[in-house]
Amino acid sequence: MRRALEEGRKGLGLTAPNPAVGCVIVNSRGHVIGKGYHAKAGGDHAEIAALKTVTDSADLKGSTVYVTLEPCAAEGKTPSCAHTLAALPIQRVVFGCQDPNPAMAGGQKVLVDAGIQCDQWGPLKRECLELAEVFICNQSAKRSFVHVKVGASLDGQIALKSGESQWITSESSREQVQVLRGQSDAVLVGRGTFEQDNPRLNSRSDQFINKTNIAVIIDPKGGVISQLSESRLLEVRPSEKVFVIVHEGFLGESENCKILRCPEVQGQLDLKVAMQALLAEGVHSVLVEGGGTTISQFFNQGLVDRLTVFMAPKIIGAAGGQSWTKGLSIDGLENAICLPEMKMTQLGSNFCLSSGMFTDTWLKGD
Ligand SMILES: NC(=O)c1ccc[n+]([C@@H]2O[C@H](COP(=O)([O-])OP(=O)(O)OC[C@H]3O[C@@H](n4cnc5c(N)ncnc54)[C@H](OP(=O)(O)O)[C@@H]3O)[C@@H](O)[C@H]2O)c1
Ligand SMILES: [Zn+2]
- Residue 45: CATH number of its domain: 3.40.140.10
Of 7, 47, 130, 133, which one is the catalytic site residue?
47
* Cα 33 to ligand 2 centre (Å): 19
> Residues lining ligand 1, CB < 6 A?
150-151, 158-159, 163, 165, 168, 189-193, 196-197, 218-221, 268-269, 271, 289-294, 297, 322
- 49 and 154 in a common domain: no
Distance 319 CA to ligand 1 centre (A): 19
pLDDT tens for 49-72 read 999 999 999 999 999 999 999 999
Mean pLDDT calculated for residue range 207-222: 96
327-342 pLDDT, tens digit per residue, is: 999 999 999 999 998 9
One domain for residues 150 and 56 = no
Task: Name the domain count of the chain.
Answer: 2
CA 147 to chain centre: 6
* pLDDT tens, position by position, 131-158: 999 999 999 999 999 999 999 999 999 9
The answer to whether residue 48 sits within a structural domain is yes
CA-nearest of 74, 82, 80, 128 to 101 is 74
To the nearest whole percent, how much of the chain has pLDDT over 70?
A: 100
- Asked if the structure places residue 295 within a domain, the reply is yes
Please tell me the distance between residue 174's alpha carbon and the centre of ligand 2 in angstroms.
Answer: 35
- β-partners of residue 66 are 24, 94
CA angle, corner 336, sides to 218 and 364, nearest 5?
A: 85
For residues 125 and 122, what is the distance between their CA atoms, to the nearest angstrom? Answer: 5
> Quick one: pLDDT band at residue 2, thresholds 50, 70, 90?
very high
Residue 138 lies in a domain: no
Question: Given this model, what pLDDT does residue 62 score?
Answer: 97
Confidence class for position 211, pLDDT limits 50, 70, 90: very high
pTM value is 0.96
User: What pLDDT shows up at residue 9?
Assistant: 97
Rg of the chain, C-alpha, whole Å: 22
Nearest CA to ligand 1 atom 10: 291
Mutating to test ligand 1, I would choose from 146, 150, 162, 191 the residue with most ligand atoms within 8 A of its C-beta, which is 191
Which atom number of ligand 1 is nearest to the Cα of residue 269?
32
| Within-domain flag for 47 | yes
For residue 40, which of 63, 6, 14 has the smallest C-alpha distance? 14
pLDDT of residue 96: 97
- Please report, for the domain that includes residue 169, its CATH number: 3.40.430.10
Which of 75, 99, 131 is at the close of a domain?
A: 131
Proximal ligand: closest to the CA of 297: 1
**92 assigned to some structural domain:** yes
User: Is residue 312 predicted with pLDDT exceeding 90?
Assistant: yes
Q: Which of 77-81, 157-161, 361-365 bottoms out in mean pLDDT, i.e. has the lowest?
A: 77-81
Q: At what angle do helices 357-364 and 133-141 cross, to 10 degrees?
A: 60
Q: How many CB atoms lie within 10 A of CB 107?
A: 27
| Residue 104 pLDDT class (50, 70, 90 cuts) | confident
DSSP of 52-98, one letter per residue? HT-S-GGGGTT-EEEEEEPPP-S-SSS--HHHHHHTS---EEEEEE-
User: Are residues 103 and 183 both part of a single domain?
Assistant: no
Reported as a pLDDT band with limits 50, 70 and 90, residue 105 is confident
| Assigned domain for 31 exists | yes
The pLDDT, as a whole number, for residue 75 is: 76
CA-closest candidate to residue 327, choices 278, 281, 292? 292
Residues 64, 166: one domain? no
* Residues 314 and 172 grouped into a single domain: yes
User: Ligand 2 centre from 71 Cα, in Å?
Assistant: 5
Q: How confident is the model at residue 313 (pLDDT cuts 50, 70, 90)?
A: very high
Final residue in a domain of this structure, among 83, 111, 131? 131
Residues 148 and 110 in one domain: no
Q: Which atom of ligand 1 is nearest to the CA of 310?
A: 3
**Lowest-pLDDT range of 92-106, 167-181, 223-237, 246-260:** 92-106
The answer as to whether 352 is a domain residue is yes
Task: State yes or no: pLDDT of 101 exceeds 90.
Answer: no
Nearest alpha carbon, ligand 1 atom 31: 269
102 pLDDT more than 90: no
Same domain (yes/no): 192, 110:
no
Bridge partners (DSSP) listed for residue 35:
24
215 — alpha (psi -120 to 50), left (phi > 0) or beta? Answer: beta
Tell me what the mean pLDDT of segment 176-194 comes to.
97
Query: Is residue 98 domain-shared with residue 148, that is, in the same domain?
Result: no
Q: What pLDDT, on a 0 to 100 scale, did the predictor assign at position 154?
A: 98
Kindly give the distance from the C-alpha atom of residue 147 to the centroid of ligand 1, in angstroms, as a whole number.
16
Do 224 and 251 belong to one domain? Answer: yes
CB atoms within 10 A of CB 174: 17
**How many residues can be counted in the chain?**
366
Question: Is residue 332 domain-resident?
Answer: yes
Phi, psi of 217 (to 5 degrees): -120, 135
Looking at the structure, do residues 92 and 117 belong to the same domain, yes or no?
yes
Domain boundary among 131, 154, 186: 131
Q: Which of the ligands is closest to the CA of residue 15?
A: 2
How confident is the model over 3-59, as pLDDT tens digits?
999 999 999 999 999 999 999 999 999 999 999 999 999 999 999 999 999 999 999
User: What b/e string do you get for 266-283 counting C-beta neighbours within 10 Å, with b at 16 or more?
Assistant: eeebbbbbbbebbbeeeb
Neighbours of 7 (CB within 10 A): 25
- What's residue 99's pLDDT? 82
**Degrees (nearest 5) of the Cα angle 194, 172, 209?**
65
Domain with 305, as residue range(s), is: 143-364
Q: How far apart are CA 116 and CA 109, in angstroms?
A: 10
Instruction: Judge whether 47 counts as a catalytic residue.
Output: yes
pLDDT at 78: 74
For residue range 351-363, what is the model confidence (pLDDT) as tens digits?
Answer: 999 999 999 998 8
Instruction: Please tell me whether residues 193 and 338 are part of one structural domain.
Output: yes
Distance CA 14, CA 1 (A): 21
Mean pLDDT, the chain, rounded, equals 96
For residue 196, count CB atoms less than 10 angstroms from its CB and return exposed for 0-12, middle for 13-18, buried for 19 or more: middle
Whole-number Å distance between alpha carbons of 22 and 71 = 11
pLDDT at 77: 72
Give the SS3 label for residue 349: coil
> Angle at CA 230, nearest 5°, toward 228 and 231?
60
Whether residues 232 and 322 share a domain: the answer is yes
Q: What is the mean pLDDT of residues 197-223?
A: 96
